[in-house]
Structure 1
Amino acid sequence: MNNKLDGLSMDLENSNMEKLKTVFPECFSEGKLDIDKLLSLCGEYIDNDFEKYKFEWKGKSECLHLAQKRSTGTLRPCREESVNFDNTNNVYIEGDNLEVLKLLQTAYYNKVKMIYIDPPYNTGNDFVYEDDFADPMARYKEITEQTTKSNPETMGRFHTNWLNMMYPRLRLAANLLRDDGVIFISIDDNEVFNLKKVCDEVFGEENCCGIVSRLMKSGGAKGRFFSPNIEYILVYAKNMTKIGCFRESISDEIIKKLYTSVEECGERKGEKYRPFGLYQSSLDARPNQRYYIECPDGTLVIPPGETMPAIHKDGEMVIPKKTDGCWRWSRERYIEEKLKGNIAYKKSKGVLLNSDGQPAEWNIYTKIWLNDRQEEGMVPVDLITKWENRQSKKELQQLGIPFEFAKPVDLINYLISIVGNTKDSIILDFFSGSATTAHAVMQLNAEDGGNRRFICVQLPELCDEKSEAYKAGYKNICEIGKERIRRAGKKIIEEKGDQIGIDDEEKKPLDIGFKVFKLDTSNLRIWDNTPITGDNQIEMFTERMNSMIDSIKDDRTDMDVVYEVMLKMGVPLDVPVQYIGVNEKVVYKVVYKVVHIVGDFLLMIALFDNITAEDIEAIAEYAPAKIICAEHGFADDSALSNAHYILKDRQIELKLI
């Protein structure tokens, strides 16, 4: 068994193959997938029809390959730029989001409840990152040291470049969503139709929750035919059957307008309710829903129509004509609701008929209780007219942050709140910009006592030297985002306090911290297999061999290695790292709760030199699931061999780096 830990991210292709083998073992022959057989088992038979509807563009197949190409990078912790590093659950990552999403696969696969992204709209001036299929990490290193490039419409591949950027990132993002997860993507009309087609392919057309129109500004004089005031938010579920329904809270405006009645007696005395007619003219005629109802003065009333039941108080029902009106409820339901106090009788002449077929003096209402509706919430509409972009400009000015085109905090809060079941979940934004999502998560937690955690990812795009941000001392967008989170956290504590929760016993500190990580090449040395040419080839080869004796690069710290091990062992970045002493040597201890494992998953990482069998025995006393050691750190080959035998007897896995 190979117990060597390499410096690569999760092997998505192999993982997908293993899943298929589990479900469809008969579709594999000599380790190869028989795609025709797989399709036939799913009811898709090869018919040689090459004219089927497809969404294609140049580079699409390479994009899919790129999404599954293993990353040679890692995420290095940056404590000095973080806030409350040891105790926070929030994460800010500086790096190319394609490589970062690859690195998050093992630790965050199927764990993210909600993703919000505000990617480049491809207006012609937006930066569109051109990925390098051969060496993405080398391309990232290059791009962080030069001015970013725009994607003008004059380029022959204007839409293609944008699609090649978005497609692999959405593929990777879909893996991170929980089964009940949702993604929101802001976009304008330049790419909304292309984005819809891409999302239909990535998430499935059946998982489209809707396209929301959003008023981004009012008025304006730009545009040739129309001044653009609207943009869009595409909403997709990981699995539509798992997410339930979206609900938003009832606004004060609606409460004042509709919930105008107050209960005067009974168990619900003092509660507000909305009277809603038991008869509605839009209802179709139904046999069990046309009957007389007795009013407080003893008179009988019925919806307008020609077919009238016999007059008696038991409420005989009739078979109505199509033109006859009906109640919303059956008589049995009406009696049941009346006993609960959910019926109101109000004098309102002309709506209903009495037993003589004349306009009645009464109308019958059901009571829609405000308290009940506030718990249930209301279905949001697909038009958002609140929170124009000018609000975000004001928010950033209050924080002293120079940045254009951010989304309002309340907009992100609204999207998080309508999803439901987010109070103890992860919110991801991998086009973080000025970190509005991070700001929104902290603010929403302060308001409702939630324990949401954010993961923000942003490419360190260089600020234009003429921009206000650059003049204020910000070299790149990541510096703006991190500073915004710091200032927003302080402001929230000043306004809301540093404790969240309703009861004193349940109160807990508000998490306004964040751990900063920066994308870099792996901390582990990787064999250089490029051909050796020129003179002194033997000496050069010997030097290359000697450089591999120590598997960890010289300029990397223990914590760099610890977090790379955690990521590639499937441990989230917010899990605390503890220090313990073993035989007067430092060992790193990581305790992680895993859903399908009883008890805690314990990981021990030993990076010191001259590891002996006695050291391994002492570490094993903590009963970890795995022990990670640097192979070059063992005192000798005998110590390494003894370590294998010691841990094998205790059923503890040893992994080497």
Structure 2
Amino acid sequence: MSEIEKMTLESESLIDDRLNKLKELMPEVFSESGIDFDKLRLELGDEVDEGLERYAFTWPGKADAIRQSQMSSTATLRPRIEKSRSRDGEDGSFDSDNIYIEGDNLEVLKLLQRGYHGKVKMIYIDPPYNTGHDFVYKDNFGDTIENYKEQAGLTGQSNADTSGRYHSDWCSMMYPRLKLARELLSDDGVIIISISDAECSNLKSLLDEIFGEKNFCGDVLWNSTKSVTNTALISVSHTYNFIYFKNMDYFVRNRSEFRLRDDGEGFSNPDNDPRGPWKADPFQVGGWRPNQQYEITNPNTGVVYTPNPGCSWKNDYAHFLELEKDGRIVFGSTGEGGPQRKRFLTEAVNRGKVAKTWWDDVETTTNGTQLVKKLFDGVAVFDNPKPVGLIRRFMELATNKDCIVLDFFSGSCTTGQALFEANYEDSGNRRLIAVQLPEVLNEDSFAYKAGYLTLCDIGEERIRRAGDKIKTELEESNRQLKLGEGPKQLPDIGFRVFELDESGIEKPEPGQLLFDVVKPDRSDMDIVFEMMLKWGLELTLPVEKSEAAGYPIWSVACDELVCCMSRGLTIEALEAIADMEPRRVLILDSVLDDTLKLNAVQIFKHAGERMGCEIELRTV
């Protein structure tokens, strides 16, 4: 009898992925027993480092940290509809394209690999700074879900600076998370990480190893506080923000995609040019180019100019003559200097401007604290959150209107509020994935006394209130439309909440026969989303309960996946499902007998032949 393939309940294995890539590149180094390392060394030639001394970044526990990133997960994400919100701000609905996940980000990053591999445009994280007072995750190789629940229940767990492995513990926490994060980035993806002096050098070394030094874009120094600490010898007023590309080559080819909006500062129109305000750019560039060496005479003074030694004019002579004829060459603000080229404001807006590494023109941490306090009716529910303006600036640099933004140390969820506001401003469709450990708050904190028991309670409530604020502003704006203006559309201000938990599928002990593998505390929807996750479908796809020949089914994304989980399955129902032309079908083993199993295999095989593609049939 034909058997139906069992559903894989483990997350994507990075090891398998790398082995497959290596096999495509160098099939000759593989043997029946695995990799022939002697042959691999021969193929690599002089690239093999056989010396005892070498430059390397290491610490006690690094090997375990690497293995943590390679271990697959059998956990799942359970939908929490009662905590979720619809696209238009109605509580208890599950149609939003934004996701908020309560759970240990190491496990969550593993679970997201199948559905979101290579799809995330921007990652921003503000991880623990390892100051000796902040929360630092303690990973282990045992029961990862039990370990996660234990951590979530701890209050104020810190990595004390008296620990013998103070920096090592922090590096071991960050390494596997960054490794997994890189896999989620798209080829045009960017990761931005805020950090303080305590671990900036170690973080830079981690990022160089994982992302590659050549993909380092820059370190933005943000003037994060204006106040002065009198107790310190030097009052620290900055925060580091490391920016790495997934693929530097992409951004070299597409420079214009990584720009800030030009606000028009410095533009004017002293000569009443009909093309509008302009700014004079230098016409000289560094580097000697033979076809860009010529004399330029200032018509106002008769002075003849040539490029400085080792420099060239910006364009060749023919192009210069075109610019001169077009009125784009000027000679200083008084007409008495060397040649410059007009750049019009309309061009600058389209082109944008290059970001600098020193930012003192965005909000400070104090502004971030005041904003959250105002949003929560005067209650200080979170200490020192990043200001929305800072994250908005990063989004301006690194995102487009339709992309995924991930924050897996989401804290009070500044990233979520920034994303909502960015979409409201430019009618974008950026989608959020926020991940946060539901750390229990200290009972003496203002947040706990205000009714917020975990950090996730604060994050979810913040984006709920931020969405309400946008909805109120939009309704007021649409009531005061000017003649000819159309009403502005409300962006997606909702979010689907998921909770990390162990798999809903019972794993039988050796020799044990389980008739029903679904755990008694799990709903059909729990199992549907677990199958979506393990099959690599995005968690925001629409899920509907329907019928096929009178049999209840669950349909994902218009029959991309059909799940059969109720008793009473019939051949007529199987044929009706096949007529729906699904791409994937899941049937619980407990609802199948031998006859139905045989018929299911044949029915979906023939349907796949009609469709011209195989229907993936699985069971659990």
Counterpart for residue 89 of structure 2: none
Counterpart for residue 337 of structure 1: 323
Counterpart for residue 596 of structure 1: none
User: Between Structure 1 and Structure 2, whose CA radius of gyration is higher?
Assistant: 1
- Out of 464, 473, 485, the position equivalent to 2:463 is 485
- Out of 126, 130, 147, the position equivalent to 2:134 is 126
**Shift of residue 129 of structure 1?**
1.0
Residue 272, structure 1, aligned to residue 277, structure 2: yes
Change (3 A) 1:506 1:524: farther
Unmatched segments (≥5 aa) in structure 2: 87-92, 609-614
Counterpart for residue 118 of structure 2: 110
**Shift of residue 341 of structure 1?**
3.0
Counterpart for residue 612 of structure 2: none
Counterpart for residue 532 of structure 1: none
Paired with 1:571 and 1:330, the residues of 2 have a C-alpha distance of 53
**Shift of residue 569 of structure 1?**
0.7
**Could you say what secondary structure the match of 1:54 adopts?**
coil
Change (3 A) 1:264 1:95: same
Report the TM-score when normalising by structure 2. Answer: 0.90
Residue 175, structure 1, aligned to residue 191, structure 2: no
- Out of 53, 62, 67, the position equivalent to 2:55 is 53
Residue 468, structure 1, aligned to residue 446, structure 2: yes
Counterpart for residue 438 of structure 1: 416
**Could you say what secondary structure the match of 1:589 adopts?**
strand
Counterpart for residue 429 of structure 1: 407
Change (3 A) 1:458 1:346: closer
Counterpart for residue 416 of structure 1: 395
Counterpart for residue 537 of structure 2: 571
**Could you say what secondary structure the match of 1:393 adopts?**
helix
Asked if the contact 2:297–2:304 (Cα under 8 Å) also holds between the matched residues in 1, the reply is yes
Change (3 A) 1:395 1:63: same
Aligned residue type for 2:159: N
**Shift of residue 279 of structure 1?**
7.1
Counterpart for residue 81 of structure 1: 83
Change (3 A) 1:627 1:288: closer
Residue 200, structure 1, aligned to residue 208, structure 2: yes
**Could you say what secondary structure the match of 2:585 adopts?**
strand
**Shift of residue 465 of structure 1?**
0.8
Unmatched segments (≥5 aa) in structure 1: 306-319, 353-363, 530-540, 593-600
**Could you say what secondary structure the match of 2:405 adopts?**
strand
Paired with 1:287 and 1:141, the residues of 2 have a C-alpha distance of 68
C-alpha distance after superposition, 1:327-355 (max 9, x if no partner): 65443222101232323467837646xxx
Change (3 A) 1:498 1:54: farther
**Could you say what secondary structure the match of 2:420 adopts?**
helix
**Shift of residue 638 of structure 1?**
1.3
Counterpart for residue 586 of structure 1: 552
**Could you say what secondary structure the match of 2:557 adopts?**
strand
Residue 641, structure 1, aligned to residue 593, structure 2: no
Alignment of 1:493-532 (within 5 A): 493-497=471-475, 508-528=489-509
Asked if the contact 1:3–1:656 (Cα under 8 Å) also holds between the matched residues in 2, the reply is yes
Change (3 A) 1:263 1:633: farther
Residue 551, structure 1, aligned to residue 517, structure 2: yes
- Out of 2, 5, 27, the position equivalent to 1:3 is 5
Asked if the contact 2:437–2:456 (Cα under 8 Å) also holds between the matched residues in 1, the reply is yes
Aligned residue type for 2:441: C
Counterpart for residue 251 of structure 1: 263
Report the TM-score when normalising by structure 1. Answer: 0.85
- Out of 344, 357, 363, the position equivalent to 1:387 is 363
**Shift of residue 21 of structure 1?**
1.5
C-alpha distance after superposition, 1:190-219 (max 9, x if no partner): 000001111111111111111111111023
**Shift of residue 264 of structure 1?**
3.2
Greater length-normalized contact order (CA 8 Å, ≥ 6 residues apart): 2
Paired with 1:468 and 1:121, the residues of 2 have a C-alpha distance of 23
Paired with 2:84 and 2:333, the residues of 1 have a C-alpha distance of 66
Paired with 2:528 and 2:209, the residues of 1 have a C-alpha distance of 37
Question: Quick one: percent identity of the two aligned structures?
Answer: 39
Paired with 2:308 and 2:31, the residues of 1 have a C-alpha distance of 67
Change (3 A) 1:116 1:583: same
**Shift of residue 120 of structure 1?**
0.2
Paired with 1:498 and 1:75, the residues of 2 have a C-alpha distance of 38
**Shift of residue 69 of structure 1?**
1.0
**Shift of residue 40 of structure 1?**
4.0
Residue 166, structure 1, aligned to residue 174, structure 2: yes
Asked if the contact 1:36–1:45 (Cα under 8 Å) also holds between the matched residues in 2, the reply is no
**Shift of residue 86 of structure 1?**
3.4
CA-based RMSD: 2.7
Paired with 1:274 and 1:176, the residues of 2 have a C-alpha distance of 41
Change (3 A) 1:285 1:218: same
Change (3 A) 1:322 1:159: closer
Change (3 A) 1:205 1:550: same
**Could you say what secondary structure the match of 1:461 adopts?**
coil
**Shift of residue 113 of structure 1?**
0.5
**Could you say what secondary structure the match of 1:141 adopts?**
helix
C-alpha distance after superposition, 1:265-320 (max 9, x if no partner): 5xxx151111346579x997978544354737xx74423x8xxxxxxxxxxxxxx9
